[in-house]
Amino acid sequence: MLRLQGTLPFLRLEWRFLLFGLLLAFWSGPGQTYVISVIGGHIRNDFGLSNGEFGGIYTVATLCCAALLWKAGPLVDRLPLKSFVLKIGLLMVAAMVAFGFVQGPISLFFGIIGIRFLGQGMMTHVALTAMARRYEVERGRAIAIAALGFPLGEALFPPLIVLALGFVDWRMIWPGMAILAAITLLPGASFLIRHTSHQDGSGAAELQAADDDAKHWTRAEMLSDSKFYLLLPTAMAQAAIITGLFFHQVYFISLKGWDFETWSLSFVIFAIASLVGGMMSGFLVDMFRARRLVSFVLIPMSLGILIFAFLEAQIFAGVVMFFLGVGAGSTNPVLSSLWPELYGTRHLGAIRSVATVVMVFGSALGPVFMGFALDAGASLESIVLVSVLITLLAAIMAKIALSSRVR
């Protein structure tokens, strides 16, 4: 694996491949909950759906994406990265165009599958797998830099969509995003990945030749390891809670009596905090290794949702988004570095696809459970307290998993 010393030389030598990962992370945005939730109220009103019904459609569609990821994720181990990414990009453009023509719950269901599988699923999976495989000494920093695409999308997409909704119907926004992806993602990815080495799935064996003494687990071997199952709640918890919160954010904001347009602007704070959290955790991973940090990654999110639930003044919206952003930014470098630390890189695409499926599964559960809880009359405070309890249990299980006594 590449072993570059020093961050500045690393950036000068590897800027092209790092920007490639950032671009993919950014264009995962249209398939992420923070985009879909902004238009969620319009979709529910147009199709006459309750919170629980919309959450149910979203959940079942997302679970279908998880099943697709289980099959498609290992392809990044076997196929040339450039051609694979361009195919995924073309499909993503087509999925966004199609989403602009949904006419009812059934077509909405299939539209969500398309944008979620290709955006949240494959774009994220390929970007982070490519970074984790290519680097070892700088793995945390590389993942953190590529993951800057996530807060960049979080900062730009929601306020721009809210602005656009003042002029056009929500359906028109999706073909517009498809055009932007066609003129930025496709040529950008093709340019940035040129003249790079070791980036293809077919190059994994070459990378492995320099590290023959390390054990490289297959997916089947990983699935027989008890540590993996103890780590699953940590991989799932943040996706479930943050996705549920953002999916129902319009409803939660109305409950608190906050102005939604002002709230949407606080995504800029979320993005900046995510950037800071990601870069800090990336450096910490390279200094201390991910296994020492994983038990702590859910703390910022827990603080953020507690403030959101129990402090009423909208002036605290920025504080909420700061802690949520730090938590979201810290998670990718830590968890994406943890899997190659524990299980090696030869089959990393297949292994990370399982972790991605777990994350997607968590993001599917959050909206539906919160939706039905809201329909049943649960308060925001009770939902948050249950969520914090889940994060505490996840941290304890992760600590047990990485103790020397667990095999």
pLDDT at 138: 85
Instruction: Give the pLDDT confidence score for residue 195 in this predicted structure.
Output: 56
Sign of CA dihedral 384, 385, 387, 391: positive
Q: Report CA-CA distances (Å) from 74 to 129, 142, 178, 336.
A: 10, 21, 26, 16
**Whole-prediction pTM value?**
0.80
CA distance 44 to 82: 38
Residue 210: which of 12, 346, 351 has the closest Cα? Answer: 346
* 3 state SS of 2: strand
Q: What is the pLDDT of residue 158?
A: 85
pLDDT reported for residue 9: 80
> What does 218-241 look like in DSSP terms, one character per residue?
-HHHHHT-HHHHHHHHHHHHHHHH
Q: Looking at 48-169, list the stretches that DSSP marks H as alpha helix, in order from N- to C-terminal side.
A: 51-72, 75-78, 81-99, 105-115, 124-134, 139-146, 149-165
**What is the percent of the chain where pLDDT is above 90?**
39
Tokens 């989403």 map to which residue? 99
State the pLDDT at residue 248.
Answer: 86
The answer, yes or no, to whether residue 2 has pLDDT greater than 70, is: no
Kindly tell me if the per-residue pLDDT of 205 is higher than 60.
no
Reported as a single tens digit per residue, the pLDDT across 69-120 is 888 988 888 888 888 999 999 999 999 999 999 999 999 999 999 999 999 8
Tally Cβ neighbours within 10 Å of residue 183: 11
Q: Identity (one letter) of the amino acid at 405? A: R
Query: What's the pLDDT score for residue 345?
Result: 83
| Predicted local confidence at residue 55, as pLDDT | 79
Instruction: Say if CB 204 and CB 129 are below 8 A apart.
Output: no
pLDDT of residue 320: 93
Helix intervals (H) in 289-407: 299-310, 317-343, 348-375, 380-401
Contact 30, 115 (CB under 8 A): yes
Token duo for residue 245: 């919160």
| Mean per-residue pLDDT over the chain, rounded | 86
Which pLDDT belongs to residue 404? 57
- Work out the average pLDDT over 153-162: 87
Q: Domains (ranges, CATH) in the chain?
A: 14-401 (1.20.1250.20)
- Range with lowest mean pLDDT among 14-28, 169-183, 195-209, 252-266: 195-209
Cα 396 → chain centroid = 23
Higher pLDDT, 97 or 377: 97
Residue 207 or 158, more confident: 158
Q: How far apart are CA 73 and CA 358, in angstroms?
A: 12
Q: How far apart are the first and last CA of the chain?
A: 27
Q: What angle do CA 348, 90, 243 make, to 5 degrees?
A: 60
Kindly tell me if the per-residue pLDDT of 3 is higher than 80.
no
**CB 270 within 8 Å of CB 155:** yes
In the predicted model, what is the mean pLDDT of residues 9-21?
Answer: 87
Q: Would the pLDDT of 235 be above 60?
A: yes
